[in-house]
Amino acid sequence: MLVVLGLLTSFLSFLYVTAPSIRKFFAGGVCRTDVQLSGKVVVITGANTGIGKETARELARRGARVYIACRDVLKGESAASEIRADTKNSQVLVRKLDLSDTKSIRAFAEGFLAEEKQLHILINNAGVMLCPYSKTADGFETHLAVNHLGHFLLTHLLLGRLKESAPARVVNLSSVAHHAGKIRFHDLQGEKYYNRSFAYCHSKLANVLFTRELAKRLKGTGVTTYAVHPGIVRSELVRHSFLLCLLWRLFSPFLKTTWEGAQTSLHCALAEGLEPLSGKYFSDCKKTWVSPRARNNKTAERLWNVSCELLGIQWE
């Protein structure tokens, strides 16, 4: 046992000594565009903390009118106040949005559409991870509801405004975890079998498939869409897992900061010339490989139709 502890201590010491070099390697790409956003309107879900907050900060710094759409309005107002002070942009607003509740999503969209005549960038950033099994008020499994169906419905409700404001973009945050995901049409709600790790992976695959199908349906509209893997980031996303919280704390010197994690979202929202890559999946500010399941057009179309049925909407 003493030998094992000694080896572990030596290994961790080595990691921490080499941390700067390792951090530089894993930091990933940086959004290089200098595009300014004066007069542009942006909605970011879950921007009261983490990656979303840093994304909102940078877009506000570039002059955009930014809506922080989040469940916890108090945290949202705190984040907005910090961003306004940091960027000297007073146009950072907070609106209530609970992605686990379709009534809240519809209320947010109704309020936003009454308030704003334009929408240039929608960033579907919010998400949950490793939640114990539960269902939302609408009867949906929580990962499916928040990570996929909520953003699916939100995008549907705001799409008319995006088209009117074209060129416009939709950025969907997914994850490299989609490689372990599968769309289990026979058990989408996890009622027959539930594993919270796989539930997250399934929902992240749904994000990639949604992006793929949305891009196909948006051809010629001036609205483009991109899926994003932000990297392994020090954030609150792992709060439902004690083990991951422990690992995140232990290996925090090697994880991306929230600023670094926001870079690919910013790249897909802002970089010039990305229109031909609509529907693609990005990591470290460049297009990258997706799993074979994420390239299945029949699954993407079926998921689209099933999502519409579950939400009670028609979206051709």
Residues 6+ apart with CB under 8 A from 218: 224, 225, 278
Question: Of 16, 193, 194, 200, which is the active-site residue?
Answer: 200
Sequence-ordered strand ranges (E) for the chain: 41-45, 65-70, 92-96, 121-124, 168-173, 223-229, 281-283, 286-287
Examine the residue annotation and report whether 200 is marked as an active-site residue of this protein: yes
By the 8 A CB rule, do 289 and 229 touch?
no
CA–CA gap between residue 280 and residue 230 (Å, rounded): 14
Q: Is the peptide bond before 167 cis (omega within 30 degrees of 0)?
A: yes
Q: Cβ of 36: how many Cβ atoms within 10 Å?
A: 12
CA–CA gap between residue 191 and residue 220 (Å, rounded): 40
Question: Which of 78, 73, 81, 39 lies closest to 59 in space, CA to CA?
Answer: 39
CA–CA gap between residue 285 and residue 263 (Å, rounded): 7
CA–CA gap between residue 156 and residue 242 (Å, rounded): 36
**Amino acid, res. 193:** Y
Question: Which of 18, 14, 19, 5 lies closest to 252 in space, CA to CA?
Answer: 19
Question: Which of 231, 284, 221 lies closest to 28 in space, CA to CA?
Answer: 284
Catalytic residue numbers read 200
